Chain A
């Protein structure tokens, strides 16, 4: 995990003690861990944890870890570390950075993605690019649109739409990913240091063949509770 070591060292070195209060943590329990519409927990509940630090300059860094379970593989956990820069600019905001994704018991799948996003108060768009998605060497681009709408002081509705476009199949034809779309529609509630989510999430193929467990069309309900620190 050379890439992960690099990011963690950077993260720890960049944490000035005087600004330690800009660090936030969260612990979540989810009924199903889904990434871009696909379940990475075989639609079973999981526990997750995350940390994020915001520097005064607008740089930010963080990490995320979760138990996972993926059919026909030895993957038992997923982790991510990320680093980026975010700024407000007039009536909108933007951010750009890099995220490195890792899979427990499956080093070959680790990969990183570059991303850049732009947004206003309740809507945003982000474009991500990976030179070797899932470690196979296939280049992919992913475009997502996100929006939320308050339904009251403590509740909002949110929607996410995503589109993954592979440009090649990398090292082997059997790793070829299809172009696929994913979605997530749900509601979020906030109470003090807690947040709760209820969402319907899924994915479907748009074009291309999709052998293997990674490319199935699925959809499911996700319930979650998060404690923020």
Chain B
């Protein structure tokens, strides 16, 4: 039976609102700025308790009131705050109204207030990962002769801070390997996610437990700091969550901070990275080939920039087809500079066991971890490659 043409039109017309209703529109996240107010050093106050932590000091209410005043004066909304005692500042995040999309201009207006130390937009960063989860053999076991390296060091007494998405420490490969877990994304709780779990597993996956992989430094321990959230487009972080995590990480005094992510330069993050480097902490960043110099933090002086497919002046490490643990007891095979950076963090953890504060300078080309270990432990029995890429000074 033929359907009259007008009936077909009616059906199509009725279907159109349904199509519109099921179409999901992604609203862009509102722009935000960070305002830095001076955080005084703790000091004597008559009638007050002494020695309280920075987060709950007596002047916090006054600073918060100032931040509210600044927000109201500029038509903004105060959404979050966090003290950064390493830099002597208290950081407040202010959200711009939907009809204002110029955070740079707003930051400049706020910075002009004499009560403000400085102001900057909240910027977005992405983790450097690509590939689908498949299980394969570890390249580091073959290329780096991991078992030889482990005759000399396994990362004992070394802590590596992983600033990433969440780490699933209930995974059998990570049981007992994570000593600290903290979430720095507002209004969320800590959860295990793919990227963070994989990065942590590459560094410290348990050895000789009869399953899965062996981490580059299986006796090191991870400080798992969730500053990135995983979604449909991969893991994303912003400069506020990263700054909180970096501030926390530095105060834990780890040997290494691994940041397998990349984004634009950020003043707050730069200052925190500088403090970390000044304290002798190795900072490892994953290089983004699409950003100048590899992006931040990889391009920042003093940061070890690592890529799986390096440029002519870049350090490289295995970053293709890397087997790694994933949440829920699973395993996958992953590729990207994120995992190359994690492998380098593992080597730094091995060096940290042998000589905690040894000086070194990274050189372009594929990393030779055996040569690196021999630089700090001359009695290393591992066979070294022909090129010395990570020199010890």
A95 in contact with B66 given A121-B53, A126-B50, A156-B53 (CB within 8 Å): no
CA distance in complex: A26, B46 (Å): 11
Q: Which residues of A contact B114 (CB under 8 A)?
A: 18-19
CA distance in complex: A60, B40 (Å): 9
CA distance in complex: A90, B65 (Å): 28
- When the two chains form their complex, are residues A95 and B47 in contact, meaning their CB atoms are under 8 A apart? no
Contact with B along A46-68 (1 / 0, CB 8 A): 00101010101010101110100
Contact with A along B268-280 (1 / 0, CB 8 A): 0000000000010
Q: Which of A80-112 contact B (CB under 8 A)?
A: 80-82, 84, 86-88, 90-91, 93-95, 97, 99
How close is A87's CB to chain B, nearest CB, in angstroms? 5
A88 in contact with B88 given A19-B115, A121-B54 (CB within 8 Å): yes
- When the two chains form their complex, are residues B38 and A146 in contact, meaning their CB atoms are under 8 A apart? no
17 A-B residue pairs with CB within 8 Å:
A22-B62, A50-B45, A62-B46, A64-B45, A82-B46, A86-B43, A91-B251, A95-B44, A97-B43, A99-B44, A117-B50, A121-B53, A121-B54, A121-B251, A126-B44, A147-B51, A188-B56
- When the two chains form their complex, are residues B65 and A229 in contact, meaning their CB atoms are under 8 A apart? yes
Asked if B69 is an interface residue, CB under 8 A from chain A, the answer is yes
Asked if A197 is an interface residue, CB under 8 A from chain B, the answer is yes
- When the two chains form their complex, are residues A156 and B56 in contact, meaning their CB atoms are under 8 A apart? yes
How close is B338's CB to chain A, nearest CB, in angstroms? 30
Asked if B14 is an interface residue, CB under 8 A from chain A, the answer is no
Asked if B60 is an interface residue, CB under 8 A from chain A, the answer is yes
Asked if B30 is an interface residue, CB under 8 A from chain A, the answer is no
Contact of A95 among B42, B64, B69 (CB under 8 A): B42
A95 in contact with B43 given A21-B65, A22-B38, A158-B49 (CB within 8 Å): yes
A150 in contact with B43 given A23-B62, A88-B88 (CB within 8 Å): no
Contact of B58 among A18, A26, A126 (CB under 8 A): A26
How close is A2's CB to chain B, nearest CB, in angstroms? 19
- When the two chains form their complex, are residues B46 and A93 in contact, meaning their CB atoms are under 8 A apart? no
How close is A83's CB to chain B, nearest CB, in angstroms? 10
Asked if A24 is an interface residue, CB under 8 A from chain B, the answer is yes
- When the two chains form their complex, are residues A24 and B59 in contact, meaning their CB atoms are under 8 A apart? yes
Q: Which residues of B contact A58 (CB under 8 A)?
A: 40-41
Asked if B133 is an interface residue, CB under 8 A from chain A, the answer is no
How close is A32's CB to chain B, nearest CB, in angstroms? 13
Contact of B38 among A18, A54, A147, A193 (CB under 8 A): A54
Contact of A124 among B42, B46, B58 (CB under 8 A): B42
A86 in contact with B40 given A21-B69, A229-B61 (CB within 8 Å): yes
Chain A at the B interface: mostly helix, strand, loop or mixed?
strand
Q: Which residues of B contact A122 (CB under 8 A)?
A: 51, 53
- When the two chains form their complex, are residues B58 and A24 in contact, meaning their CB atoms are under 8 A apart? yes
How close is B279's CB to chain A, nearest CB, in angstroms? 8
- When the two chains form their complex, are residues A52 and B41 in contact, meaning their CB atoms are under 8 A apart? no
Asked if A141 is an interface residue, CB under 8 A from chain B, the answer is no
Contact of A52 among B53, B58, B64 (CB under 8 A): B58
Contact of B62 among A50, A64, A229 (CB under 8 A): A229
Q: Which of B35-86 contact A (CB under 8 A)?
A: 38, 40-54, 56, 58-66, 69, 85
- When the two chains form their complex, are residues B44 and A158 in contact, meaning their CB atoms are under 8 A apart? no
A124 in contact with B41 given A228-B60, A228-B62, A229-B61 (CB within 8 Å): no
Q: Which residues of A contact B66 (CB under 8 A)?
A: 21
Asked if A31 is an interface residue, CB under 8 A from chain B, the answer is no
CA distance in complex: A62, B38 (Å): 18
Contact with B along A31-54 (1 / 0, CB 8 A): 000000000000000001010101
Q: Which of A1-35 contact B (CB under 8 A)?
A: 18-19, 21-26, 28
How close is B317's CB to chain A, nearest CB, in angstroms? 31
- When the two chains form their complex, are residues A50 and B46 in contact, meaning their CB atoms are under 8 A apart? yes
Q: Which residues of A contact B251 (CB under 8 A)?
A: 91, 121
A87 in contact with B47 given A24-B59, A121-B251, A229-B62 (CB within 8 Å): no
Q: Which residues of B contact A28 (CB under 8 A)?
A: 47
Asked if A119 is an interface residue, CB under 8 A from chain B, the answer is yes
8 residue pairs, one from A and one from B, having the closest CB atoms: A146-B51, A86-B43, A228-B61, A64-B46, A24-B62, A80-B46, A95-B43, A54-B40
Contact of B44 among A63, A82, A197 (CB under 8 A): A82
A88 in contact with B49 given A95-B43, A228-B61, A229-B65 (CB within 8 Å): no
- Which of B40, B61, B64 gathers the greatest number of chain A CB atoms within 10 Å? B40
CA distance in complex: A50, B49 (Å): 13
Q: Which residues of A contact B88 (CB under 8 A)?
A: 88
- When the two chains form their complex, are residues A117 and B44 in contact, meaning their CB atoms are under 8 A apart? yes
Q: Which residues of B contact A66 (CB under 8 A)?
A: 47
- When the two chains form their complex, are residues B49 and A197 in contact, meaning their CB atoms are under 8 A apart? yes
Q: Which residues of B contact A87 (CB under 8 A)?
A: 41
**Which partner residue on chain A sits nearest B56 by CB separation?**
A190
Q: Which residues of B contact A77 (CB under 8 A)?
A: none
- When the two chains form their complex, are residues A195 and B56 in contact, meaning their CB atoms are under 8 A apart? yes
- When the two chains form their complex, are residues A119 and B42 in contact, meaning their CB atoms are under 8 A apart? yes
A80 in contact with B52 given A93-B41, A121-B85 (CB within 8 Å): no
Q: Which residues of A contact B46 (CB under 8 A)?
A: 50, 62-64, 80-82, 99
- When the two chains form their complex, are residues B41 and A48 in contact, meaning their CB atoms are under 8 A apart? no
How close is A48's CB to chain B, nearest CB, in angstroms? 6
Q: Which residues of B contact A126 (CB under 8 A)?
A: 44, 50
Asked if A69 is an interface residue, CB under 8 A from chain B, the answer is no
How close is A92's CB to chain B, nearest CB, in angstroms? 9
CA distance in complex: A48, B45 (Å): 13
A158 in contact with B51 given A22-B38, A86-B41 (CB within 8 Å): yes
How close is A187's CB to chain B, nearest CB, in angstroms? 11
